[in-house]
Structure 1
Amino acid sequence: MTNNMKIVAKNKLWKYLFWLGPFLIAVGLTVGLVSEQWGLIPLAFLIAGIVISGLGITWQSYQTNWWKRRSTQAGTNALVATLAVLAILGLINFLGTRYYWRADLTEAQLFTLAPQSRELVRVLPQPVKVWVFDISQNPQDRELLENYQRQSSKFKYEYIDPQTRPGLAEKFGVKDDGEVYLESGDKRQLVQTVNQNERLSEIKLTSRLQQLTNSTTAKVYLLQGHGERQLSPGKGAISQAVQGLGDKNFTTSPLNLGETSKVPEDAAVVIVAGPKRGLFEGEVKALQEYLNRGGNLLLMIDPNTDPKVDSLLQEWGVRLDNRLAVDVSGGSVGLGPATPLVTEYGQHPITKDFDNGNSFYPIARPLEITSVPGVQATPLLQTKPYPSSWAESDLQSEKLEFNADKDVKGPLTLGVALSRKQTPKSASTPQPAPTPSPLPSPTAQSKASPTPPASPAPSASPAPPASPAPSSQTATESRLVVLGNSDFATDGLFQQQLNGDVFLNSVTWLSQQDQQPLSIRPKEPKNRRITLTTTQSNLLILSSLLVLPLIGFAIAVIIWWKRR
């Protein structure tokens, strides 16, 4: 009896020693976590606790054959399976955090950054931070900022409550809640002000980011004096287009060649937007000399006008067709036949990311392109084939119909990009105008083999703001873009569809800053709403509330009757 009592007492002693192990482990973890220092003392407690717990488990299993019990084996299997599941989940979580992957299944890729934004952030030369001075953190804005941050470790963002950190708000000059600022080094710039009606815009954020990180600017001159589009807001103005150029780090100024007789040396691009009257001969020669020394020119010429630039265009193999471009395919979206809807674009840096997007050109004229030695030409904008489009010769007719004797079948070219290599000879003295072969009609052009797309030549480094434009020794090529319409870039139409992208991308390519991101198209969800007539709506209500329930009830009665 005495021996049995000793054995029981010994078992109790080991039981108490076994519980001492988890206690020591808990003490070691507590000391280490609180002090945040895993020195000798917490490690001693942990090691002692693990050793005692291991000895206790071993002795207990030896005394009671614990490992041979069916319940022990089942419990061990369950524990191992649980630990394996936890390990797998932990590994998946680790891989998901380290190697981020997501799929945007929306048709317009509404939750994915544009390629231009991704490329700009990936090559950031220095760290950039976005400060959002707003109490509420809108999930849509936060998701956009996280998309930027995933592209580069140099991009950071932070939400700030102006009330709790007034010093920082004063440092940035915050006036209202919702202001968003960009900071890079000692540079700061206001992006926009967000509120309930206006969320953070990828277009604005990328544009400001490009301005902040790009130390160079390009000077753009807009020709005036011949009825061109006015630059300040007003009817038929292009003030939104000018603002878009400013957002992309271009500086704009009006140019009157009648006063200066020469294009300024610092001109990266000259724009002639919809002149209503002809240019003087001296002005045309000034533009020709500018192109000959490596300049870049954007011509937007409307129908029913003669800007007197035929001699300039002839050197490049372009002729303005005096007919009107007619396109009846836009009727389904509310566009008239005199407003061509373009969905076909050339393989060129200006239009390479357009896919099958829409752009439209109210009252446009076709262009005829002829091959000229030394000039690479790429059609940018193409209308649909006949019978959807044709070139109408009777501009006074109230009803536009195809006339086989005078009109020309589509597809029609509404825009073209051209480039010409520069040589020392062409830089020093203007080249005589080459005599091109007879100009084919748009029909013949469409049947001929297409001119291979012009591969962009190495672009000259953008000049600093104070330095002149590239000289004849540094410019590698001169560039020209001709568009048969200027209405598409006017206020109100500029921000619709791809119209603004056509303009901004053309200027960016002409400025020979090919390393800079081109324009970013706004992403809009497709309208999937169904418009029903009153009869269709009533029929839908009756079918869903009366017919379908009756059919279900009838099927139930039939099944019950058969099983009865």
Structure 2
Amino acid sequence: MEVTPRSRWQIRLENTVFRLLTIAVVILVAWLSTRYNYQSDWTANSRNTLSPASVAVVQAMAERIHITAYARDSELVPIRRHISELVAKYQRHNAAIELEFVNPDEQPERVRELGVINGELVIEYQGRTERVRNVDEQNLSNALQRLQRSGERSIVFVSGHGERSPAGKANHDLGQFGAALQSKGLKVSTVNLAETLQVPPDAAVLVIAGPQIDLLPGELTLIKGYIDGGGNLLWLSDPNDPAGLAPLADTLGVKFTDGTIVDATAQLLGIDHPAVVVITAYPRHAITTDFANVTLFPFSRALTVSAPQGWEAQPLLVTAARSWAETGELSGDISFDEGADTLGPLQIGWVMTRALQQNEQPEQSDSEQRVVVIGDGDFVSNAYLGNAGNLDLGLSVLNWLSSDDSFVSIPARVISDRNLELSETTAIAIGALFLVGLPLAFLVAGITIWLRRRRR
């Protein structure tokens, strides 16, 4: 190609235009990056991304959320950076979140007045305030969830008959479950109907959790009146419960099957005791939406429901076909006895709903009355609450009963093991590749290129 002054100017013009277009593209990309945001989380277990449950909570909050973080600005202990990164995840889903940092050393009087510590968050929403000391996604989302509740939902446990206590610490009590309910913004209390002679008017849900002695006829009348008036009920019944609640069962159309359920699935999974029921699948219902965790039910009983007029009933918890209701002793060799035992699958949990008439609706209730009957109270007891998905299921049941369907359990994000374990042979091979192989490859490539250029 002959180089002429004209061709030289054409080449210069093309290069200039190319440079200008490149600069224009860079400027356009930079401008677009300020208008649009895209992020992708490739980490194990998506630990840098909010869980769907947290996203649902923060997106449902329409008004301004102000977060004040009381944290020192220190490079050695980067608390502020940790808080900023966590809150930024929420801000990507809700632009109404504001974050303000306060140095406790610069405002000691304010810190003493509020009683906060270094690293603590104070969250304000609609005139209500919540605090978070252990700053992580689970605690922050739970705090936002509590703030989101427009009204206080009261969960009232019947007491006075040896029931499982929502504040008790014994293995059979529900102390840990009660604390979990309170962490979700629910008010937990007890009522002795023999003393108060009424169910508290603000009760969103009444809970009967395994009484050990019969309720008085007058107490049963109060509970029946509460149900007739549109109240929501959670009834946790155990195989050895007294027969004094038979009038309540008749009111709801509930019939319990004799015996304790034995599940062969549990033994196949390495659970020693035969009276532990393993449930892995759930029917389509608001309680079990997106719920896929295994749940364990120790010492449970089966039940059936013939829905009274105006009610609708649906099984919630169903055992496997290899289970049965054992009427004999749970010791030694246990096997199914034809004629005495009841073969599975068996229902151990039911949900019931009833459309309320206008004159039946309590002030705090919605237009639908809700009842859940479960033939086991151990699954949310202190001894078994931490097993599998028991806590999440229990919280979902109470959220649904209290008509807070939108509230969900915020699961703890478990970080996968990030340690890379290499065998000695693999470590030597990788070391040789980077220390010897790659430098040698570059050396050979360089010599080859040099020799080819020299021959030209």
Q: Which interval holds the TM-score relative to the shorter structure? A: 0.7 to 0.9
Q: In structure 2, what is the equivalent of residue 204 of structure 1?
A: 139
Contact 2:296-2:390 at 8 Å conserved across structures: yes
2:112 paired with 1:150:
no
Measured in 1, the distance between the counterparts of 2:404 and 2:138 equals 19
Measured in 1, the distance between the counterparts of 2:383 and 2:300 equals 17
1:319 alignment partner, SS class: strand
Measured in 2, the distance between the counterparts of 1:171 and 1:420 equals 49
The Cα offsets for residues 171-212 of structure 1, whole Å up to 9 and x where unpaired, read as: 6432x322222133654332124xxxxxx2323222222333
1:29-428 matches, cutoff 5 A: 68-70=6-8, 72-104=9-41, 109-135=46-72, 136-137=78-79, 141-164=83-106, 166=108, 169-170=111-112, 172-174=114-116, 176-184=117-125, 187-193=128-134, 200-236=135-171, 237-306=173-242, 308-331=244-267, 334-336=270-272, 337-354=274-291, 356-386=292-322, 389-423=323-357, 427=360
1:340 alignment partner, SS class: strand
Contact 2:212-2:241 at 8 Å conserved across structures: yes
Contact 1:292-1:478 at 8 Å conserved across structures: no
Cα 1:544–1:475, aligned 2, differ >3 Å: closer, same or farther? Answer: closer
1:485-524 matches, cutoff 5 A: 485-491=376-382, 493-514=384-405, 516-524=406-414
Measured in 2, the distance between the counterparts of 1:500 and 1:266 equals 25
Measured in 1, the distance between the counterparts of 2:257 and 2:419 equals 41
Tell me which amino acid in the other structure corresponds to 1:518: V
1:418-457 matches, cutoff 5 A: 418-423=352-357, 427=360
1:361 alignment partner, SS class: strand
Contact 2:79-2:119 at 8 Å conserved across structures: no
Measured in 2, the distance between the counterparts of 1:305 and 1:103 equals 53
Measured in 2, the distance between the counterparts of 1:250 and 1:529 equals 40
Contact 2:327-2:341 at 8 Å conserved across structures: yes
The Cα offsets for residues 415-470 of structure 1, whole Å up to 9 and x where unpaired, read as: 22111122368x4xxxxxxxxxxxxxxxxxxxxxxxxxxxxxxxx8xxxxxxxx52
* Structure 2 residue ranges without an equivalent (≥5): 73-77, 433-456
Shift of 1:150: 0.9
Percent identity reads 29
Q: Which of these residues, 444, 460, 470, is aligned with residue 363 of structure 2?
A: 470
Q: In structure 2, what is the equivalent of residue 479 of structure 1?
A: 370
**TM-score, structure 2 normalization:** 0.80
Measured in 2, the distance between the counterparts of 1:106 and 1:367 equals 45
Cα 1:83–1:133, aligned 2, differ >3 Å: closer, same or farther? Answer: farther
Q: In structure 1, what is the equivalent of residue 441 of structure 2?
A: none
Shift of 1:273: 1.6
Contact 1:222-1:273 at 8 Å conserved across structures: yes
Shift of 1:142: 4.0
1:271 alignment partner, SS class: strand
Shift of 1:106: 6.4
Contact 2:277-2:300 at 8 Å conserved across structures: yes
Measured in 2, the distance between the counterparts of 1:106 and 1:369 equals 47
The Cα offsets for residues 363-392 of structure 1, whole Å up to 9 and x where unpaired, read as: 222222334442222222223332xx3332
Contact 1:390-1:412 at 8 Å conserved across structures: yes
Instruction: Pick which of 312-321 and 105-114 moved more.
Output: 105-114
Cα 1:293–1:187, aligned 2, differ >3 Å: closer, same or farther? Answer: closer
Measured in 2, the distance between the counterparts of 1:73 and 1:167 equals 73
Shift of 1:96: 4.6
Measured in 1, the distance between the counterparts of 2:379 and 2:46 equals 25
Shift of 1:298: 0.5
Q: In structure 2, what is the equivalent of residue 434 of structure 1?
A: none
Shift of 1:269: 0.9
Cα 1:339–1:545, aligned 2, differ >3 Å: closer, same or farther? Answer: farther
The Cα offsets for residues 78-99 of structure 1, whole Å up to 9 and x where unpaired, read as: 4544444454455445445533
Contact 1:304-1:322 at 8 Å conserved across structures: no
Tell me which amino acid in the other structure corresponds to 2:368: E
Tell me which amino acid in the other structure corresponds to 1:513: D
Q: In structure 2, what is the equivalent of residue 534 of structure 1?
A: none
Contact 1:125-1:213 at 8 Å conserved across structures: no
* Structure 1 residue ranges without an equivalent (≥5): 1-64, 194-199, 428-459, 461-468, 532-536, 550-564
The Cα offsets for residues 491-527 of structure 1, whole Å up to 9 and x where unpaired, read as: 353344321222222222212233x423223333578
Measured in 2, the distance between the counterparts of 1:110 and 1:385 equals 38
Contact 1:211-1:247 at 8 Å conserved across structures: yes
Cα 1:287–1:233, aligned 2, differ >3 Å: closer, same or farther? Answer: closer
Contact 2:168-2:174 at 8 Å conserved across structures: yes
Cα 1:424–1:78, aligned 2, differ >3 Å: closer, same or farther? Answer: closer
Cα 1:492–1:305, aligned 2, differ >3 Å: closer, same or farther? Answer: closer
Measured in 1, the distance between the counterparts of 2:263 and 2:12 equals 77
Measured in 1, the distance between the counterparts of 2:44 and 2:324 equals 32
Cα 1:102–1:497, aligned 2, differ >3 Å: closer, same or farther? Answer: farther
Measured in 1, the distance between the counterparts of 2:154 and 2:253 equals 27
Q: In structure 1, what is the equivalent of residue 450 of structure 2?
A: none
Shift of 1:480: 0.7
Shift of 1:399: 3.0
**CA-based RMSD:** 3.5
Measured in 1, the distance between the counterparts of 2:264 and 2:81 equals 43
Shift of 1:318: 2.4
Measured in 2, the distance between the counterparts of 1:229 and 1:309 equals 16
**TM-score, structure 1 normalization:** 0.66
Tell me which amino acid in the other structure corresponds to 2:363: P
Measured in 2, the distance between the counterparts of 1:91 and 1:334 equals 61
Measured in 2, the distance between the counterparts of 1:208 and 1:182 equals 8
1:519-534 matches, cutoff 5 A: 519-525=409-415
The Cα offsets for residues 268-303 of structure 1, whole Å up to 9 and x where unpaired, read as: 111112222222222222111101111011111122
Measured in 2, the distance between the counterparts of 1:226 and 1:372 equals 28
